[in-house]
Structure 1
């Protein structure tokens, strides 16, 4: 058992633009798209805590083994666990490869640890030996983190920072090409605040017109829980690309009535259901959904793509009765120039 009590990580609230440091000194960092991790190294064992209550130690044996030989002394680090894939000179973060690591079979985890090894990107130092650094301002914690990791080597990396908001805005535009998903602004004079949204995150915001192809019933058993949406590929096939959730109670019930004319039924009049994609995170969760005729178009807000799907849950903007469903294709989505992950790590 580690000598450290791993706290809940400090969190961030969303902003629409990179904040100006005129009234409050800020340090800006790339926002890494991975698993939040707190690394506790007591000189004998490495433990990895997560943003939730689930320990991550067993899923990243390569980090446990290698960090023990890299860290200069007992410490508690806050950072992000990421996996990179792609050829040299064109590597990028790979969320799908990272998410595959959450697997119940130790043999599978061990295999993936060799095939797609993880890295840890450190961005805060919460304890140094027996000294609790959380009450110190971030500028002091960052300075001590830089000294501690001056000679660090892969898979341990120190995130880059800047105090220049213009450079941060450039990072916001460029680093997405390497799979990162935004910028985080951190007040330099603030102490560490476990579980509090005291940081500021700026992510990419875009819109797209998508087709409603089905809905899942809310967990209460009544109303629409999430609306599944899709886009047409070059082959003319409608593919599920994500879901819209966070409806109010009133809207959940209203949507059932609004979507009723589109519900697919068989020859007997029974509702036709589909089976949604199942992941390692859904487990035994019911992923069935009510199928809709692909006729209704809606505009949604999204931040980025992961492969052919939206990376996160998208937000409803408005219905688009003026749009033909067949016109909702991938062509409308932004394409991001590639950017080598190695240039972000340096």
Structure 2
């Protein structure tokens, strides 16, 4: 098993490798995604998947506690036959046949041509960690990388969070670092960061942000584990600001330990709201308030 960057993932999910070897004939290539389920939360756990990569000798215990699954999307070759030029409808039929007697470790990703069923999945599956839908042309061949025959439709909603720090300076913030107040301790909990701001957004925020004058609830630099992104290996230097301003942002449904796993898109500052007016931090998903964004 290889990642997109050709990293060998076999040692981190040996139970999945064994299931693949059992179910699929030699010289078969499939496209899928490794997932680890958090049974208590009823959803996938990205941190548990990352934990396998850093588990070392503890891996058998990780497997016993949280087994991994491989969710399969497509088949590129079957028993040495190259299928990449075949239309998706044919590849899907071959994949279903290959998985007819597969162990439950291998999961066939659901697919439908019924628009209403797809809408239901879009509205309901987000509680399991699904970020949205991928719409594919049934006549399309398999192409590596970006292709005009696939469209990602992510579930996005608006949310509010408190600006607790910035990458850049208080008067010229390039990225906003966001938090929410803990319901029990009143501590400001880190929940995520924005994508880089446009110049007009930097100017708007820079006019209102105030550098922190004394103690601040977050450590400096920000721990890499808080950022929660694969490319963030080192602590993040940042400028602390007074946690007084509330920002409205657009988020997707990927989260872990109460934090948004992906960078969010900044919309505006909410001068009508204070830190105590917004949803409190919780270890589960940050509550987006249930509002769909305009896009």
| TM-aligned CA deviation for residue 143 of structure 1 | 0.9
CA spacing shift, 1:283–1:176, aligned 2, 3 Å: closer
- Of structures 1 and 2, the one scoring higher in RCO (CA 8 A, sep 6+) is 1
Pairs within 5 Å for 1:28-177? 48-86=1-39, 91-103=42-54, 106-177=56-127
| TM-aligned CA deviation for residue 247 of structure 1 | 2.7
Q: For the Cα contact (< 8 Å) 1:232–1:326, is it kept in 2?
A: yes
Unmatched 5+ residue regions in structure 1? Answer: 1-47, 337-346
Q: What's the TM-score, normalizing by structure 1?
A: 0.71
CA distance in 1, matches of 2:207, 2:219: 18
Who is 2:293 aligned against? none
CA spacing shift, 1:251–1:57, aligned 2, 3 Å: farther
In the alignment, is residue 325 of structure 1 matched against residue 278 of structure 2? no
180-189 or 60-69, larger mean C-alpha shift:
60-69
**Aligned equivalent of 1:276, options 222, 233, 247:** 222
Q: What's the TM-score, normalizing by structure 2?
A: 0.83
**Aligned equivalent of 2:140, options 178, 187, 190:** 190
In the alignment, is residue 286 of structure 1 matched against residue 235 of structure 2? yes
Unmatched 5+ residue regions in structure 2? Answer: 291-295
Pairs within 5 Å for 1:188-337? 188-198=138-148, 199-217=150-168, 224-235=173-184, 236-248=186-198, 250=199, 254=203, 257-258=206-207, 262-265=210-213, 274-279=220-225, 281=230, 284-304=233-253, 305-330=255-280, 333-334=287-288
Query: CA deviation digits over 1:75-128, x for unaligned, max 9?
Result: 0000111111225xx73222221221221x531334323321110011100011
Query: CA deviation digits over 1:292-341, x for unaligned, max 9?
Result: 101112110111243312232111011212222221223892589xxxxx
Q: Pairwise CA RMSD of aligned residues?
A: 2.9
